[in-house]
Every structure is written in C-alpha cells, then in structure tokens.
Amino acid sequence: MTEESLESTRMSTLGKDKHHKTTPSIVYCLGLALAGIVFGFDIGSIGMINFQTYRDQFGDIVYPSGEKRINEVVLGLIVSGFSLGAALGGLLLPRFADNYGKKPLILFSMFLYFLGSLTVFWAWVWWQVFLGRILNGAGVGCCGVVSVMLISELSPPDLKGPLVSSFQVFTTVGILFGALVIYLCKNERSRWQYRIGLVIQMNLANIVAIVTAFVPESPVYLIKSRQYNKALRSIGRIKGLSPTDHRVETELNDLRERTQLESLNIALSDPNSTSILKGEPRILFRTVIGTILMIFQQLTGINYFFFFGVAIFENAGVEDPFLTPVILGAVNLVFSFLSLWLVSQYPRRWLLISGSFVMMILIFMFSTCGVFFLDSSNGAVVGSIMILLTCFFIGAFACTWGPLSFVVLSELFPIRVRSKSMSIASAMNWTTTFALSLLSPLIIRYIGFWYGYVFAAFLFLSAFFVFYYIPETKYDTIEQIDHYYETMTTFNEFSIGFPTKTFKKRNKSITVKQPEIQLHDV
C-alpha cells in the first residue's frame, strides 16, 4: 500500500462512517476558518494610511499648510511590511507543527498578530509601524498555512473543498468589516481615527485564539507523538461520539496501524522521497508549478484594488473614495459565497482559466477608461464605470483564483512533502505581494492607470500556464496525479470542459509500482 493510498484511506475514515455526525467536524473547520477574518480585516482596514491623522503622525513631507504626506517609499514599506512578515512566517513557522502540533502554532500566530497591532498602536515613527506590520504578517502567514492544513485533516472528504474555501470566505467578511470601520472613522479628527481599527485587530486575534482553543488537535499528529488518550478524545469530538464508544477505539487502532504503515513506507522507500529537490514523482517540478500558481494569484492585480483602492478612486475623481472599498468588499463577500457552490460543482482548471480571461478583459477595460477617457467632460460617468468594472473584476476573482489557487495547491502534493511544498509556494505568494505593495505606490505615481495593462498581460499568461501545467485535481486521487507527473509534461489533452456526470465519475486505473507493506513484513 502506497503512502498516498494510506492518506486517502486515512482521511476518508474520518468522514465516511455513516454512524457518526459530520456536524462537529464542520463546526470545528468553520471555527478554524474564522482566522480568515483577521487576515481580511487587515486588508480592509489598510485604508487608514489615507487618514490625515495617520499622515500627520507618520508623514515625512510637510506642506505649507502644515499637513503632512508619507512619501511613496515609506508608504510602500508600511503596506508591504505585512507581506514580508507573512512570507517569513508562512515559510519558517509551519514546520514546527510536526513537533508541537497545529493548535499551539495557530495560538502562537495569533499572539504574534496581537503583538504587531499593539506595536502599531503605540508607534510614533514609521519604522515602528513597519516592525509591527511584519509581526502582523508573520502571524497571518503562519496561521493561513496551518489553519488550512488542519481544516483539510478534520473535514469530511466530500466537504473538503468548500470547507477549505471557507477560509477565503471569512477573509472576504473581514475585508468588508475593515472597510466599514475605516468608512465610519473617516470624520474622526484625533489619533483614534486609525487606532480604533488597531483595537479591533487585537480583539479579533483574541477571539480567534479562544475559538481555536476549543478545536481538537489533529488525531494524526497525536498518534505520531504517541499521545493516544488525547487522540481518542480528539477522534470522539470530531465524530460526535463519546471517547468510550467502541467505534472511536476502532478508529484509533485503524489510524495507528495506517500511521505505522505510512512511516514504514517512508523508511523502506527511497530516502529522497521526502526531499523537495530529489523526491519523486517530480516533486521539485510540482513545487515550482505550485509556486508559480500562487505567484500568478497575486499578479491578477487583486491587491492593486484592495491595498490602494482609496488612492486609485481618489485620483479617478470619485467624490467619496472611502465608500468605494465598502462597495468592493460587499461584492467580494457575495461572490465568495457563490464560490463555495462553484468549487463543489465545477472543475478546477475550467474555473481558473475562465477567471483569467474574464479578469483580463475587465482590467483592460478599466485601464482604458482611466488612461483615455477619465479627463474628458464625462469624467464622473467614467469614474462610475470604472467602479462597476472593478466590482465585476473582484467578483470574478472571488469565484475563481481567490479560493481555487489554495484548493489546488492543497491537492497537488503527496502528504509526505505537502507541508514543505505548500510553505514554499505560500511564501512566494507573500513575497510577490510584498514586491507589489512596495513598488505599486511609485508605479502608480509615474504611470497611473497604465499599470492595469501589466496585470492584464499576466492574466493572459496565467490562463495558458493553467492549461499546460495544472492537472485537474477535483476528481482524481493523489495516485492519479502522481501518475500524470510520471508520464507527461503538460496536461493540455485533459478535458477542461463543462462538468458532466461522466466527467465527475472519471476514473483511471493506475498501476502502483511500490509493493504493499504489512506489519508482519517487518
């Protein structure tokens, strides 16, 4: 039995027993996904950098009127500090989950986020804000990886896609919440204008930590660390059964045997099987593919609107630019709920490719309006059209690349390298966000709305990248995906058409090269 078969069987065991409730596991997964609100609120409340009280406190350019402005380099550092911290946190911290468990790591990440917001709250110079933003990012970067991994382990197999996507949905809730707070604080004239948002950030981190404390630890981690009594209680809570129920004990014994077999498979197989560089089948290539996928997610241009939306629409002549992020956040939330249905019904590749082309057309039209028509006599009408195009763009992202890039990434790798490969890909996602956040203020200043054409070009490339290098992971097992990477370089011959019952039932017979190992073989 291969390691991938063990994973498939192990994960299905927690979800397919008809004699237990799935409600507890769903509730726990949604509790973990609540961490997305923290991430989303940080994005939604970044508009505080446009408050005059914020500029007066941290600005370094003084106007004759006495008002201050933050220069583009410092502004880029303040915004991008979060992404830099997230890249470091997402790459370095998740590896400790194997030694200390996923729950403690999520709690630690919320402590880092709380500490970062507290640092910004008491900051009086910009570099202190930058330091606090790095701590914020480290907490979110770690929590984003570990929470999704734990959701994937606790969720019923038939609900894994929607429950993993729920993290993105809660992120959109946080974005809208943050935008509303900034909008309601726009007329405040004291330092509390931006500090209110920071207080809410700290409270959200506390709430997520409290909720996480009630979520059971991964049974697989507890078994691997020989904490069998705790594993028994964890399985009982996930299955909605008493720890003394014989079915829970049977489940524990099954998981113990499968975990031991998995360890034996790794021990007796190629020593490079857990290596990113030398692992097979084509682990390095797959890690590169997953990394490029996550880079393209940021190169869609989504944070061009979320991070700098107020400044963009202020330049577009919109009367109340602080209201625009609220509208965009509401659109993002509505379409994110729609994405839960789309993820469960449609092929991953079809959604990603469709999303790329739709967003490419929309941002091309947005940039054309800004470059060629905004200064005309109908500037107000053009500004309204640009807001409408942005709403459609964000809706398309929320239904496709927003949730699906993370879903595909979690399904692309065998479990023996999944945490390492996902950490690398997520770190590069945040690194790309850091670069865009740092450079965008300068780019926007010098080329204005021409910037949108850059994202349109990347969206065009992303569609072909998915077509040639991303397999359909929705209906296939990890063994079938392994087989694809063993036998071919591209996936253009695989269907990307509309889902049908035949397509959903598609199965392939894969010959497993590795011999089955039983306990008595040792």
CATH number at residue 43: 1.20.1250.20
Task: Please report whether residue 497 resides in a domain.
Answer: yes
Answer yes or no: is 256 within a domain.
no
Please tell me the predicted confidence (pLDDT) of residue 145.
84
Q: Is residue 225 part of a domain?
A: no
Owning domain of residue 500? 22-215+276-518
Tell me if 257 is assigned to some domain. Answer: no
Indicate whether 385 belongs to any domain.
Answer: yes
Identify the bridge partners of residue 62 per DSSP, sorted by sequence position.
68
Two tokens, residue 266: 């790794």
pLDDT at 315: 66
Residue 387 in contact with residue 320, Cβ under 8 Å?
A: no
Confidence (pLDDT) at 260? 74
The DSSP secondary structure of 342-382, one letter per residue, reads: HHHHS-HHHHHHHHHHHHHHHHHHHHHIIIIITTSTTHHHH
Residue 342: per-residue pLDDT: 86
**Number of domains the chain is built from:** 1
Beta carbons of 197 and 188 less than 8 angstroms apart: no
Q: What is this structure's pTM?
A: 0.79
What is residue 465's predicted lDDT score, i.e. its pLDDT? Answer: 93
Q: Give the pair of three-digit tokens for residue 135.
A: 């701590």
Q: Report the pLDDT value the prediction gives residue 20, as an integer from 0 to 100.
A: 55
Q: Is residue 244 part of a domain?
A: no
Give pLDDT, residue 473.
80
State pLDDT tens for residues 90-105.
888 888 888 888 999 9
State how far the Cα of 421 lies from the Cα of 202, in Å rounded to an integer.
31
pLDDT of residue 266: 61
Q: What is the pLDDT of residue 496?
A: 39
pLDDT at 489: 52
DSSP string, 394-436: HHHHHHTHHHHHHHHHHHSS-HHHHHHHHHHHHHHHHHHHHHH
CA distance 306 to 319: 18
Q: Closest Cα to residue 327, out of 339, 315, 318?
A: 318
What the block records as the tokens of 34 is 């609540």
Closest CA to 91 of 141, 137, 47: 141
Q: Is residue 221 part of a domain?
A: no
Characterise 85 by phi-psi region: left (phi > 0), alpha (psi -120 to 50), beta (else): alpha
Q: Which residues of the chain have pLDDT under 70?
A: 1-21, 262-281, 315-318, 376, 488-522
The number of C-alpha atoms within 13 Å of 205 and in the hemisphere containing its C-beta is 26
**Tokens 């979690």 appear where?**
410
pLDDT of 323: 84
CA distances, 268 to each of 6, 263, 518 (Å): 15, 9, 12
Q: Please indicate, yes or no, if residue 28 is contained in any of the structural domains.
A: yes
Tens digit of each residue's pLDDT (9 = 90 or more) over 343-368? 878 888 899 999 999 999 999 999 99
- For residue 75, the surrounding DSSP H or E stretch is helix 72-92
- Other beta carbons within 10 angstroms of residue 51's beta carbon come to 21
Number of H-type helices and E-type strands within the chain: 23, 2
Specify the pLDDT at position 518: 43
What does the pLDDT look like over 494-507, one tens digit per residue? Answer: 443 343 333 344 44
